Structure 1
Amino acid sequence: MKHTKVKDLLQSNTTLTEVNAKGWVRTFRNNQFIALNDGSTLNNIQCVVDFENTPEETLKRITTGAAISVVGALVESQGAGQKYEIQVSKLEILGDSDAEKFPMQPKKHSLEFLRENAHLRVRTNAFGAIMRVRSVLAFAVHRYFQEKGFVYVNTPIITGADAEGAGEMFQVTSLPLDNLPRTEDGSINYREDFFGKHTNLTVSGQLEGETFAMALGQIYTFGPTFRAENSNTSRHLAEFWMIEPEVAFNDLDDNMDLAEDFIKYVVKYAVENCADDLKFLEGRLADEEKQKPQAERSEMTLLEKLRFVLENDFKRVSYTEAIDILRDSTPNKKKKFSYIIEQWGADLQSEHERFLVEKHFKCPVILYDYPANIKAFYMRLNEDGKTVRAMDILFPGIGEIVGGSQREERYDVLVEKMRALGIDEEELWWYLDTRRFGSAVHSGFGLGFERLVLFVTGMTNIRDVIPFPRTPMNAEF
């Protein structure tokens, strides 16, 4: 008999004489009531066992974490809080679970403990909800761009280019590490490596994405990226996923329009399709907020934060105006900021970004026209010679969620910037070709997918919104 998902059983319009459900036991009480969950929904379905006619040996094997199959009638539930339950006529143990050793007991666990058991944490309500929301958001990303006529491009994971120019990249090699080939000057001879050159795991698909945008008009990438940054903060991962659209003939204003429309679309899609999971995560966040000092508590619930994004136009503010606001702000004057803003050119921190969003403008903010010396080489230089056509989108509780720019389409200007920064022109000859053959104004942005999931789920540590986090000194599972 084909089994039916728990979600579909709970949403049934009628009772049924016989159904089959399969899943994992969450709880088993009074030798009669099983809370069964199969991952299709946050909610369990109650399965009522005929314990008088069920062998005692079988009852003993119904433990937390065990995989079971039940056959029985779907009937209206006598208990509160549930529409249907299954009156079990046949029960089969598919996989036993050692109840005493099973880590995911039906009690509250610390997030650190759950990270140490990342292979099992998805069986908890919280992580089941997070991963379902993550899945829906990923689908919404593709749905949005496909509806808009974008072409999905898979850019290389192994690359010889450092898109950000930061050098924090994981090297890829097949050379024997205990006997590295050397050149005459003693440096590593990468000509003998698999690719015949020094290669790394990508930090961004942008540069390759630009080449496709200059032929296909509008493209997007959505794939894994890597950064060898030795940071153990709640905001950093060594392996993460990036969403990066690139659009020919779009200037910075078009880019801001696209980014705002895109974010609102995917957040709205999650709100409309993850109601139960988001309601649960909202309650979880509220409990977490109660543990904080009053001054550190968020003024908004999770769903209020999401509506805050959906219902407000994003305020567009130049970097220069933002610096003036921050410099004259009370927390800056009273030295409440950890990083005091003293002059134009400062690199804004999360505390500054959140102040602008949560305290000053009270809506999402798009900052634009940043100092050239704190932004990447590929951003278009403004006529003032000191700022670039960059933009960042700032959200409540999280700060920057999107970074993008109008790209430098002028060959001579781009070459000059690369030389000033010591970027090898020969390494990026193909990138420069796009400026030599039919160059045009074009723009794009990057959105760290885990940042988006973090915001939508209300979690506070980015390690909790990716299945298996990769961080310094941790590559378990």
Structure 2
Amino acid sequence: MKRTKIIELLRGELVGQQVNVKGWVRTRRGNKAVAFIALNDGSTIHNLQVVADLANFSDELISKITTGAALSVDGQLVSSQGQGQSVEIQASQIEVLGTADPQTYPLQKKGHSLEFLREIAHLRPRTNTFGAIYRIRHQMSIAIHTYFHERGFIYFHAPIITGSDAEGAGQMFQVTTLPLEATPRLQDGSVDYGQDFFARPTSLTVSGQLEGEMAAMALGAIYTFGPTFRAENSNTARHLAEFWMIEPEVAFYDINDNMDLAEDFIKHCVRWALDHCWDDIQFLSEHFDKELIDRLRFVLEKPFKRMTYTEGIEVLEQAKAAGRKFEFPVYWGADLASEHERYLVEEHYQRPVIVTDYPKEIKSFYMKLNDDGKTVRGMDVLFPKIGEIIGGSEREADYEKLRLRAEEMGVPDKDIWWYLDSRRYGTAPHAGFGLGFERLLLFVTGMANIRDVIPFPRTPRNAEF
């Protein structure tokens, strides 16, 4: 008999029919006459109850049906008489596909801390919590591809191994085949990269933006969506060493077009989550964040407030003068901390905020310089609870200005000659932004730690699994 997924059986359309279901045991309870088995196959947050008349099954078989065991069950799907489920299976045949020793299986029927579950990340997808998170992660991926595809964007694959530092921060993982215990050296003591695989220093990428800009200059509108890496020694709840980025780049866009795209895109993603992940979001709201659903709707209900960095600093300084305490200093030229961003969103404007026109000293070399010579056409989208969720800019299209800014920021011409070249041949205004996928998932799931929205987190001193 062909297997039917639990999510399909729970719709009730097959009541009265013989079906086969396969999944893992969540719990088993009952008495001497009957066993009630809660089965889950990952297709939904909800379990399917299997009712087994013990007169029809051996004690040996029933003893193997413990939490974590994998089963194949044949039986009739019937309307349920009990509370909590609309249908159940009256089992006629049960096969134990895989046992789980109850003495050692770590996911027993009790509460487990998220910290403990990180230690067994290979098993945590079997919990209700992480099943919900990973289904939402899948749906958000579909939402992203759907949004751009329907609007004529080209999905562009930027390289993961690169010779350039897009951020200019130097926090990159080096890629090499040279033996670390006997690295070849030149006469001056420096590493002889001529003997390395690529014959030059290379690293894992921190962004696909620079390559994405090259594609936008030919294809008009593109987006990248792939893994990126940053060797930043930040062991916080908001940082990962390996994470996924969505980066659209659009030719002939200015900063205002970019803001319009960012707001429309992020609202699309949130709306998709509410439309396609309701059961999982409701579960996470009940167990982790009571305000989650209201916060998601909050983003959809109001237009985003748009303001300059200078206006934002003025608001923060006024708040400080009125007695609002901030841990980090507030002054023109300082980078906004998460507490500043959240104050603007959650307390002052009570809506998502897009901040533009940052001081050039705190932004990347590729952002277009404003006429004042002090600020650049950068933009950050700020969300409740998260702070910055999107960062982007109108890109500098002038060859000489871009070259000088790169020089000021310590980015050598030899590393970005090809990027500078694009400003010599048919340059055009263009803009784009980056959305950290895991930051989006933090917002949509209500989880507090970014390690809990990616299957196998990579953080300082941790590359387990």
Q: If the length of structure 1 is used for normalisation, what is the TM-score?
A: 0.96
What is the match of residue 392 of structure 2?
A: 404
Q: Which of the numbers 126, 129, 135 marks the counterpart of 2:138?
A: 135
- The answer to whether the aligner puts 1:89 opposite 2:107 as a matched pair is no
Q: Give the counterpart of 2:347 among 329, 338, 359.
A: 359
Tell me which amino acid in the other structure corresponds to 1:20.
Answer: N
CA distance in 2, matches of 1:104, 1:246: 44
Determine the C-alpha separation between the residues in 2 that align with 1:231 and 1:2. 49
Is 1:125 paired with 2:128?
yes
Alpha-carbon distance in structure 2 between the residues aligned to 1:191 and 1:442: 37
Q: Which residues in structure 2 correspond to 1:116-265 (within 5 Å)?
A: 116-265=119-268
**1:308 maps to which residue?**
298
* 1:376 matched residue in structure 2: 364
* Alignment partners' CA distance in 1, 2:441 and 2:25: 28
CA distance, structure 2, for counterparts of residue 81 and residue 109 of structure 1: 23
Corresponding position: 1:421 with 2:409: yes
Give 2:424's match in structure 1, choosing from 436, 442, 445.
436
For 2:55 and 2:381, the matched residues in 1 are separated by 62
Aligned match of 1:449? 437
Counterpart for residue 47 of structure 2: 44
The whole-number CA distance in structure 1 between the counterparts of 2:272 and 2:410 is 44
Whole-Å Cα distance in 1 between the matches of residues 308 and 324 of structure 2?
23
| Residue identity opposite 1:315 in structure 2 | K
Q: 1:337 aligns with which of 326, 345, 349?
A: 326
Aligned equivalents of 2:454 and 2:14: distance in 1?
Answer: 37
CA displacement at 1:270 relative to structure 2: 1.1
- The SS at the match of 1:344 is coil
SS in 1 for 2:423: helix
Structure 2: 5+ residue runs without aligned partners? none
Q: Distance in 1 between matches of 2:427 and 2:371?
A: 19
CA distance in 2, matches of 1:20, 1:306: 38
Deviations 1:326-366 (A, max 9, x none): 01104x6536211131x211110000000000000000000
| Aligned-partner SS, 1:143 | helix
1:390 is paired with a residue whose SS is strand
Per-residue deviation, residues 421-451 of structure 1 (Å, max 9, x unmatched): 2211011111011100000000000000000
**C-alpha distance in 1 between matches for 2:329 and 2:216:** 40
Residue type of the partner of 1:98? D
The 1-side partners of 2:64 and 2:275 are apart by 39
Query: How many residue pairs are counted as aligned between the two chains?
Result: 462
Residue in 2 that maps onto 1:388: 376
Give the drift of 1:14.
Answer: 4.5
SS of structure 1 residue aligned to 2:165: coil
Classify the secondary structure of the residue corresponding to 1:456: helix
- Give the counterpart of 2:74 among 60, 71, 76: 71
Matched letter for residue 349 of structure 1: A
The equivalent residue for 2:463 is: 475
Q: TM-score, normalised by structure 2?
A: 0.98
Aligned twin of 2:12: 12
Distance in 2 (CA, whole Å) between partners of 1:277 and 1:44 is 13
What does the per-residue CA deviation read over 1:100-146, in whole Å, with 9 as the maximum and x for residues that have no partner?
A: 21111121111100000101111111110011001000010000000
- In the alignment, structure 1 segments of 5+ residues that lack a partner are 288-300
SS at match of 2:94: strand
Instruction: Give the RMSD, CA atoms, in angstroms.
Output: 1.0
Query: What is the distance in 2 between the residues matched to 1:431 and 1:111?
Result: 43
Q: Which string of whole-angstrom CA distances, capped at 9 and with x for unpartnered residues, describes residues 146-196 of structure 1?
A: 000000011000000000000000000000111111111101011110001
1:33 pairs with one of 27, 32, 36: 36
Shift of 1:17: 2.5
The question of 1:322 aligning with 2:325 is answered no
Q: Percent of aligned positions with the same letter in both sequences?
A: 62
* Distance in structure 1 (CA, Å) of the matches to 2:448 and 2:322: 28
2-side partners of 1:84 and 1:229: how far apart?
A: 50
